[in-house]
Amino acid sequence: MAYLAFAPQSVAVITGGASGIGLAAAKRFAALGMAICIADLDQERLDGAVAEIAAISPGGLGDVMGIECDVSRRDQVEALEAEVRDIFGGTDVLMNNAGIELPSNAIDGPFENWQRLLDVNLWGVINGTQVFAPGMIARKRRGYIINTGSKQGITTPPGNPAYNVSKAGLKAFTEALAHELRQRESCSITAHLLIPGFVFTGMTARGRIEKPQSAWTPEQTVEFMLEKLAADDFYILCPDNDAPRALDEKRIAWAAGDIIENRPALSRWHKDHAEAFKAFLEK
């Protein structure tokens, strides 16, 4: 029952759907016979992605659309929702997946970079959820809101504070959303937090053409996500070829332990605690 939305007659909207994890999800959902709308920034890239998705979709181009939409812009997200409703009748699966990394987002980094990261990675998800959820709930069909977070939003490693803040905010938002949805009477929409490991995509390629050994492919990530959605998991914590689940669990437990044990912030990277962390990993 829980899995019913991933089937023909269902509609999926995927932001950041013209590449990487979003495009892999769009193709996988299309293969299930779902109608697909991908939203992204550039119409030319969208058109290319739509052609790839339509080649897989049993309904071809009639079941796939690509709409230019900047998720940080509320008006554009509203227009996206209206167009999907007009053409496909509504939305069953919303994947708030668009995200960016910017090179310079240190604590004292440029204001514009901080603002853009938060606008896209955090506000994009809030916009998508607030604009789409009422119609999805009113549809009274089984549906999913899947927000793409990051391990960096959980263990918040040094180096990318604005990105970490955006993904930590997204995690808190999605947890609250899951709670609110399950409190609502006769609501069949559930929320889920996708936490990819290292995935070889446009965001992480950095000039590389070949997938590094440690990375997963976007397709592996989406397959894992579907497995976990079928089990109704909220936290979809993906491993990669370097970080198995057991290692992630220890890193997450250590980060939470900083508060409980009254250690310094980010003690995993603190010279006085590095040895203790290493020992903890080996335990």
Ligand X SMILES: NC(=O)c1ccc[n+]([C@@H]2O[C@H](COP(=O)([O-])OP(=O)(O)OC[C@H]3O[C@@H](n4cnc5c(N)ncnc54)[C@H](O)[C@@H]3O)[C@@H](O)[C@H]2O)c1
Give the residues lining the site for ligand X (CB under 6 A).
15-16, 18-22, 39-41, 69-72, 97-100, 120, 124, 148, 150, 196, 198-199, 201-204
Between CA 177 and CA 145 the distance in angstroms is 9
For helices 274-282 and 245-260, the axis angle rounded to 10 degrees is 130
Toward ligand X, which CB reaches closer, 141 or 211?
Answer: 211
Are 190 and 182 spatial neighbours (Cβ–Cβ below 8 Å)? Answer: yes
Catalytic residues: 163
Task: End-to-end CA distance of the chain: give it in Å, rounded.
Answer: 40
Shortest distance, position 119 Cβ to ligand X, whole Å: 7
Nearest approach in angstroms of CB 158 to ligand X is 17
Which among 90, 78, 77, 79 has a CA at the least distance from the CA of 34? 90
Cα–Cα distances in Å, from 29 out to 69, 225, 237?
20, 12, 20
The minimum distance between CB 94 and ligand X, in angstroms, equals 13
Two tokens at 240? 């990669």
State the minimum distance, in angstroms, from the CB of residue 261 to ligand X. 27
